[in-house]
Structure 1
């Protein structure tokens, strides 16, 4: 936690807003998506979904295949506590909604379904998109699939399994958006990054969760930024955005959201 506090102070000192951004693509993304103040009706559905999860007292036996939770160390966890501590916040879920609403991705891959808060938000943002989401814990996967079905979310396929094994089966596909939110470890993050590069096209956007989770995750983020295929990155502290647009000059932005 101390590491994250120090990194956040550094982030605040070097970050800015849309001013000084000369790339039309990035400027529009920031002003029309990140800073979009519209009160979308679907925000009510997102909030209701989160609030309902926070009231579920059911306990699930959790199998952590990644770095695990920094808050909850016990193997058996209540859904309500997971929704409060491990799931996407309402603010971040709304941002994911705006991103899929703005970029209109046809295909999305999510690593780390958890309770489906992010999955649900992305689905609402673009109901026409096809979302493939991978969850490592069988019990969470079953619970979340049921919750999404109750909410009549039909454009989502949940795969249960180890990321390393499941990713290998998906590398022949192309994904317009990939949300990395499952294993907050340096080596695993870089391995997923390299494996999934085969799925990239010019308009792909990748979002890495918790790039300041640990020193190792920050090192992974810095390595990703320097990769030859990566042209533009946006550091928002809690998420790192990666773009592969060949028409863009290589540039790294640090933006407060």
Structure 2
């Protein structure tokens, strides 16, 4: 926890808003997507999806292949507690929806479905097909039930350990226009997924890595990704590391604050960390 707290303070010191960004491509993304204040009707569907899970007190047995949980001490977990503590926050879900809306990717891959809070944000459009990978059969089952309730039908769920699925499932030579990495939060696994999925990129591909400051190892993985020769532009929003492979872009790395509400969401997270540290 101390590592996360210190990383956040460093992020605050080094980050900028849209006016500190001198790349037209990134400036437009920050101004027209990150700072977009439109009240999209899809936000209500995201809220309904979340609220339905928060009201579900049933328990499931979770299979965890990743780096583990900082919150849960047992694999028997209540669905509402998973949604509350382990899922994407409401503001980040809205931002994820806006990123998809902004770039309009036709093919999306998600690594780490959980209960589908992020999956729903990725899928709430009429132009994308979403493939989502999840290691735990029980959480995938709950996700599929929720997607059906919300009338979301453009998602294909695949259950199994991520690296095995990426190696054996027919994911390649498919081109994925957007990949959201929210699975095994370890350096080794993150870099393995990175290398396995490089053949699926094109010039317009967008990759989003969740929890890049989760640990020292995840920060090391993020630094390696930033330096990869195929990577041209990266954006560190603290929670996410966003990667672009646009050959026409000068190689640059940005540390950018997102909109005010998302920023406050992170501040509240740090306040909670401060309470845990004392």
TM-score range, shorter chain: over 0.9
* CA drift at 1:19: 1.3
Unaligned runs of 5+ in 1: none
Shift of 1:39: 1.1
Structure-to-structure mapping, 1:6-85, within 5 angstroms = 6-85=6-85
Unaligned runs of 5+ in 2: 259-278
Q: Is the 8 A contact 1:128 1:155 kept in 2?
A: no
- Which residues in structure 2 correspond to 1:13-162 (within 5 Å)? 13-124=13-124, 126-162=125-161
Q: How far apart, CA to CA, are the structure 1 residues paired with 2:234 and 2:226?
A: 7
**Deviations 1:59-83 (CA, angstroms, capped at 9, x unpaired):** 0100001112111120100000000
Structure 2 residue 208 is the aligned partner of structure 1 residue 201: no
- How much has 1:107 moved relative to structure 2? 0.4
What is the alpha-carbon distance in structure 1 between the residues aligned to residue 213 and residue 183 of structure 2? Answer: 14
Residue 175 of structure 2 is matched in structure 1 by: 174
Contact 1:231–1:245, Cα closer than 8 Å, also in 2:
yes
Alpha-carbon distance, 1:127 to partner: 2.4
Size of the aligned set, in residue pairs, is: 256
Task: Give the whole-Å Cα distance in 2 for the aligned partners of 1:243 and 1:237.
Answer: 17
Cα distance, 1:22 vs. partner? 2.2
- TM-score, normalization: structure 2? 0.91
Structure number having the greater helix percentage: 2
Q: Which runs of 4+ in 1 moved over 6 A?
A: none
Distance apart, 1:20 and its partner CA: 3.1
TM-score w.r.t. structure 1 length?
A: 0.98
Instruction: Report the Cα distance in structure 2 between the residues aligned to 1:181 and 1:20, rounded to whole angstroms.
Output: 28
Distance in 1, matches of 2:19 and 2:142, equals 44
